[in-house]
Amino acid sequence: MNETAIPSGPDHKRLLKLASYASVCVAATFIVAKAVAWIITDSVAVLSTLLDSFFDLFASFTTFVAIRHALVPADREHRFGHGKAEALAALAQAAFITGSALILLFQAGSRALNPTLVKSPEVGIVVTGIALFITAVLVIFQRWVVRRTGSIAISADSLHYIGDILMNAAVIVALFLNGWFGWLYADPLFGAGIALYIVYSAKNIAKDALDMLMDRELSDTDRQTIYSIALEHPDTVTAHDLKTRQSGQTKFIQLHLEMKASLSLMEAHNITDDVERRILDAFPDSEVIIHQDPEGIEEDHPTY
């Protein structure tokens, strides 16, 4: 249940835009710094982080564009809004990340066949250490934004930057082992290990994006919460046929609410409005549709 999310509004949109701006700026800065470090060190591990930063920039820019599009209000052609642009951005990120992993595996394999000592490892360690710190700050900010907004695009962006933290730490260790202990295979081995981790991260990002694009139901916990809220009202008998999905930050919730047959239409309407308000209190930034059923009607209801 997304209890910490805030309703859509100026603050909500500002946080999403700020998070996307920050990731683009960080990726662009890293490309310049790591390119210099790679030229000096000729390290495949440093090259791995440089390649990853290039893909980070593409992915973050894709997120930036998607966030701006997803925040466009619903219109005549898109009655349910543009929220799925976030899922498309996350899927594109998974493709970018997988591409960087394949390139990195190729580079690591080439270096393993021709291992060499890294030149000026201290330069790579300093640059990578600074990148690690800045990335950690960015991830902390992104996770805070995700808790506030529930954005799948920012969450995907944050996930691959978490991978960057582990990558930068691994590069520092590889440079240290290669430069000071002469372990020639540390550089390609760590590079290959990083590539495999990137593929694992891409798989998780793609799964979350596909879940949204395929209108996967909300979690069992969220669904049970919705049922509980519907049955809290003293004038409701039961609830059934609950259908849920999510598009961007917007959740769509539909259910049938069974009430006493003796109630007037106005009374049933007022009860439905009250239940709807309670659901919206628990799930801000949602669209709720409730169908009213009189008690006692024989209907077949889905068992899922």
pLDDT tens column, 181-229: 767 777 677 778 777 877 877 787 788 788 888 888 888 999 999 999 9
> Rounded to an integer, what distance in angstroms lies between the CA atom of residue 216 and that of residue 106?
36
CATH number of 220-294: 3.30.70.1350
Question: How do the domains of the chain map onto residue ranges?
Answer: 10-213, 220-294
| 231: Cα within 13 Å, side-chain hemisphere | 11
CATH number of 10-213: 1.20.1510.10
User: Cβ–Cβ contacts within 10 Å for residue 24, how many?
Assistant: 20
Per residue in 95-133, pLDDT tens?
877 877 787 777 677 767 776 666 666 777 788 788 888
Strands of the sheet with 236-247, listed across from one edge: 236-247, 250-259, 286-294
> Rounded to an integer, what distance in angstroms lies between the CA atom of residue 31 and that of residue 191?
18
- The CA–CA distances, whole Å, from 294 to 81, 114, 119, 216 equal 32, 77, 78, 29
Q: How do the pLDDT tens digits run along the chain, 304 residues long?
A: 333 333 444 566 677 778 888 888 888 888 888 888 888 877 766 776 777 777 778 777 877 787 777 777 777 777 777 777 778 877 877 787 787 778 777 767 776 777 666 666 677 778 878 888 888 998 899 888 888 777 777 777 777 677 777 777 777 777 777 667 767 777 677 778 777 877 877 787 788 788 888 888 888 999 999 999 999 988 899 999 999 998 876 889 999 999 988 899 999 999 999 999 999 999 887 889 999 999 877 766 665 5
**Strands 236-247 and 250-259, how do they pair?**
antiparallel
Extract the tokens encoding 193.
């290990």
Residue 175 near residue 29, CB atoms below 8 Å:
no
- For the chain, the residue count is 304
Q: What share of the chain is helix, strand, coil (3-state, %, to 5)?
A: 70, 10, 20
Determine the 3-state secondary structure of 167 from DSSP. Answer: helix
Instruction: Annotate 58-80 with b (16+ C-beta within 10 A) or e (fewer).
Output: bbbbbbbebbebbbeeeeeeeee
